[in-house]
């Protein structure tokens, strides 16, 4: 088996930066392999990806030392257009790759520029649109797609080039669990054809699918090895900003032998070594924090997108009470964002009503709605535009006609809540994705709305940033705000949402306490969802826990079993 990629003492420092983004990178990636690259935000992962097709150093300029070889070609000596025949790159900011007027033309752009025959172009459009699930959307404008659908389109447009080396920088951030599995299945096809798949991801579950895992920290590759070697080293993972596999954490905390990386393996070890005995799951009977009056109510809410006559919501009935922390779940295109945009009047019902404190949303002025319901977009760059952080955070208050002294006070308070004191004079677009996300949240908080709606607030953030974001939202919830989060991150919903609703095809499939919803694995599967590995293990053991800490507490309260586990108990199965 040949070598696909070689890094020889590679270092790179961007112009006007004093600190190297890459430092002395060494290593090889073989053909017919999947390599997952993991590390904290700013570790150098995206920069390393861009060295494989020549964007670094030809487009992104700076001090470049060492060599990168792809299929024996020294990348720095070739043009980006030449390398595009060998290396396909899906950018972290996938929306930046989309520019055509419809989906079909987006898919055709690459093959046309490689001068492929028209029948071959049509064959690839059909093949890869079907693969990413967008065959029925050939004539749609990319701007009308959901975030997950746009990500699928960006992936499909690169797959249509059929590169020998496929590099995808966080390709599943906006995808539901089924979409994630479909993207990861690309590895199987590439292996058969002798290609290399390099994936950048923050989730350890992605690393399980790899042949090799590379960990990066502060511009250096600090570890290379198999998933079984790398993903069980909890201290190393934490130092690189990676969420430790919860089953490994659980076994370590309990002092149990073995370091299982999946719920299935954990179950097998528990049975084999008689470590614990399953019991019947007793789910909570009522919602916590549900005592307040309804703040948002949907009555027969139906919405049809006028241009394409797509019925996104099919008669939603929903009541959300003050003080709730609600997670909205569902696969791409299920209607999550469409529903949320009715909460603050960004969309008006085709039929039915959206009530805010008992009044139809259509009866409120924009100013009144802004004071009641704040909305943070999936992509913070869709709402950030001001020259400085201070101007951005204070803009809503300025529009509402607040006194300058009050604006100054509210801006300072909002920046303190999101941990951005001292950022007032900075340009928002020079900040990291996580910092821009917090600026967007601060701009909503400054208005002090009763309800805060966030669309995928953890997208593009590393584990530490995700924790910081969600802990901040938990504090806001405890201080009296109603928090509504749209998310594909099932562990985020499990650990933070007190209530969850699951949408499927514009209808509510499940609604209840998050623990109850996550115990119904059959219904979740209908929506192409499944609980996190720890919760699946918790369902089998019959504990209430949805975090490692809680599970340890519950398991330690249960006496050690005298008998082996009943072999007829239903165990977690692969999803």
Buried b (16+ CB within 10 A) or exposed e, 209-247: bbbbbbbbbbbbbebbeebeebbbbeebbeebbbbbbbb
Cα 334 to Cα 314: distance, rounded to the nearest angstrom: 11
Question: Region 199-214: what's the mean pLDDT?
Answer: 91
* pLDDT attached to residue 566: 40
Strands 212-217 and 33-39: parallel
User: Per the domain annotation, does 135 fall within a domain?
Assistant: yes
Task: Please count the helices (runs of H) and the strands (runs of E) in the chain.
Answer: 23, 20
Please answer whether residues 493 and 473 qualify as being in contact, where contact means their C-beta atoms are separated by less than 8 angstroms. Answer: no
Q: What is the pLDDT of residues 32-53, one digit of tens each?
A: 999 999 999 889 999 999 999 9
* pLDDT attached to residue 350: 96
- Whether 326 and 446 share a structural domain: yes
Cα 302 to Cα 288: distance, rounded to the nearest angstrom: 29
- Whether 139 and 219 share a structural domain: yes
Lowest mean pLDDT among 168-177, 267-276, 300-309, 324-333: 168-177
Q: If 0-12 CB within 10 Å is exposed, 13-18 middle and 19+ buried, where does residue 19 land?
A: exposed
Cα 500 to Cα 327: distance, rounded to the nearest angstrom: 5
User: Per the domain annotation, does 113 fall within a domain?
Assistant: yes
- Whether 365 and 476 share a structural domain: yes
Cα 78 to Cα 426: distance, rounded to the nearest angstrom: 37
Q: What is the pLDDT of residues 406-434, one digit of tens each?
A: 999 999 999 988 889 999 999 998 887 77
Bridge partners for 374 per DSSP: 452
User: Per the domain annotation, does 309 fall within a domain?
Assistant: yes
Cα 548 to Cα 447: distance, rounded to the nearest angstrom: 36
- Whether 320 and 441 share a structural domain: yes
State which of 228, 259, 281 marks the end of a domain: 228
Cα 176 to Cα 178: distance, rounded to the nearest angstrom: 5
User: Per the domain annotation, does 549 fall within a domain?
Assistant: no
Q: What is the pLDDT of residues 102-139, one digit of tens each?
A: 999 999 999 999 999 999 999 999 999 998 889 999 99
Angle in degrees, 0-180, between the axes of helices 118-131 and 103-113, rounded to the nearest 10? 130
Find the CATH number of the domain harbouring 305: 3.40.50.300
- Whether 212 and 319 share a structural domain: no
State which of 491, 519, 547 marks the end of a domain: 519
Given a cut of 80, whether residue 575 has pLDDT beyond it is no
* pLDDT attached to residue 569: 45
Query: Taking the CA of residue 296 as centre, how many other CA atoms within 13 Å lie in the half-sphere pointing to its CB?
Result: 27
Given a cut of 60, whether residue 562 has pLDDT beyond it is no
Name the strand (E) or helix (H) holding 10: strand 3-14
Lowest mean pLDDT among 75-84, 201-210, 225-234: 201-210
- Whether 317 and 220 share a structural domain: no
- Whether 194 and 319 share a structural domain: no
User: Per the domain annotation, does 445 fall within a domain?
Assistant: yes
Nearest alpha carbon to residue 152 among 167, 130, 120: 130
Which domain covers residue 459, as residue numbers? 294-388+426-519
- Whether 215 and 314 share a structural domain: no
Number of domains in the chain: 2
Question: Which 8-state DSSP code applies to residue 118?
Answer: H
Q: What is the pLDDT of residues 478-512, one digit of tens each?
A: 999 999 999 999 999 999 999 999 999 999 999 99
Nearest alpha carbon to residue 21 among 10, 12, 29, 30: 12
State which of 193, 212, 228 marks the end of a domain: 228
- Whether 369 and 467 share a structural domain: yes
Cα 200 to Cα 478: distance, rounded to the nearest angstrom: 35
- Whether 12 and 154 share a structural domain: yes
- pTM of the full predicted structure? 0.87
- Whether 108 and 202 share a structural domain: yes
A 10 A CB-CB count for 22 gives 26
Nearest alpha carbon to residue 179 among 168, 171, 188: 171
Question: Region 202-221: what's the mean pLDDT?
Answer: 93
- Whether 76 and 200 share a structural domain: yes
User: Per the domain annotation, does 8 fall within a domain?
Assistant: yes
User: Per the domain annotation, does 568 fall within a domain?
Assistant: no
* pLDDT attached to residue 284: 59
Given a cut of 60, whether residue 574 has pLDDT beyond it is no
Strand order across the 310-321 sheet: 310-321, 294-305, 351-356, 359-360
Q: What is the pLDDT of residues 157-204, one digit of tens each?
A: 999 999 999 999 988 877 777 777 877 788 777 878 889 999 999 888
User: Per the domain annotation, does 282 fall within a domain?
Assistant: no
């Amino acid at each position: 088996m040949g070598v696909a990629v070689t890094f020889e003492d590679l270092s790179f420092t961007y112009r006007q930066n004093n600190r190297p983004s890459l430092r002395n990178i060494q290593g090889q990636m073989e053909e017919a392999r999947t390599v997952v690259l993991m590390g904290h935000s700013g570790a150098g992962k995206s920069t390393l990806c861009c060295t494989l097709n020549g964007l670094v150093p030809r487009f992104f300029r700076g001090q470049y030392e060492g060599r990168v070889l792809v299929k024996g070609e020294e990348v720095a000596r070739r043009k980006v257009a030449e390398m595009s025949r060998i290396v396909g790159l899906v950018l972290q900011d996938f929306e930046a790759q989309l520019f055509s007027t419809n989906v079909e033309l987006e898919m055709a752009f690459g093959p046309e520029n490689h001068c492929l025959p028209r029948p071959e172009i049509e064959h690839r459009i059909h093949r890869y649109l079907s693969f990413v699930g967008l065959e029925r959307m050939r004539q749609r404008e990319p701007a009308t797609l959901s975030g997950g659908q746009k990500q699928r389109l960006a992936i499909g447009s690169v797959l249509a080039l059929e590169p020998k080396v496929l590099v995808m920088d966080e390709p599943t951030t906006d995808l539901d669990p089924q979409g994630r599995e479909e993207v990861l299945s690309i590895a199987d096809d590439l292996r058969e054809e002798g290609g290399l798949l390099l994936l950048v991801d923050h989730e350890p579950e992605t690393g399980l699918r790899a042949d090799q895992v590379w960990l990066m920290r502060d511009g250096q590759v600090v570890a290379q090895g198999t998933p079984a070697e790398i993903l069980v080293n909890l201290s190393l993972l934490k130092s690189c900003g990676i969420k430790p596999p919860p089953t490994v954490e659980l076994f370590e905390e309990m002092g149990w032998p073995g370091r299982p990386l999946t719920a299935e393996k954990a179950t097998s070890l528990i049975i084999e070594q008689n470590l614990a005995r399953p019991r019947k799951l007793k789910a909570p009977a009522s919602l916590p924090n549900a005592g307040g009056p309804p703040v948002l109510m949907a009555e027969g809410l139906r919405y049809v997108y006028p241009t394409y006559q797509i019925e996104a919501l099919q008669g939603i009935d929903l009541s959300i009470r003050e003080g709730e922390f609600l997670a909205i779940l569902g696969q791409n295109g299920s209607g999550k964002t469409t529903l949320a945009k009715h909460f603050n009047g960004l969309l008006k019902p085709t039929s039915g009503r959206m009530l805010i404190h008992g009044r139809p949303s259509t009866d409120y002025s924009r100013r009144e709605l802004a004071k009641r319901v704040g909305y943070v977009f999936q992509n913070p760059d869709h709402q950030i535009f001001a020259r400085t952080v201070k101007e951005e955070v204070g803009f809503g208050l300025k529009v509402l006609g607040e006194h300058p002294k009050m604006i100054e006070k509210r801006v300072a308070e909002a920046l303190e809540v999101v941990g951005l004191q001292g950022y007032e004079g900075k340009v928002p677009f020079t900040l990291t994705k996580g910092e821009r996300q917090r600026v967007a949240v601060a701009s909503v908080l400054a208005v002090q709305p009763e309800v805060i709606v966030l669309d995928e607030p953890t997208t593009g953030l590393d584990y530490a940033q995700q924790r910081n974001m969600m802990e901040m939202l938990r504090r806001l919830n405890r201080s009296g705000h109603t928090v509504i989060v749209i998310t594909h991150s099932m562990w985020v919903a499990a650990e933070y949402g007190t209530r969850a609703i699951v949408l499927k095809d514009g209808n509510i499939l499940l609604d209840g306490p998050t623990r109850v919803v996550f115990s119904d694995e059959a219904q979740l599967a209908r929506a192409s969802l499944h609980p996190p590995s720890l919760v699946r293990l918790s369902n089998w053991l019959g504990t209430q826990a949805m975090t490692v800490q809680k599970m340890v507490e519950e398991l330690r309260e249960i006496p050690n079993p005298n008998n082996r586990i009943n072999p007829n108990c239903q165990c977690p199965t692969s999803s």
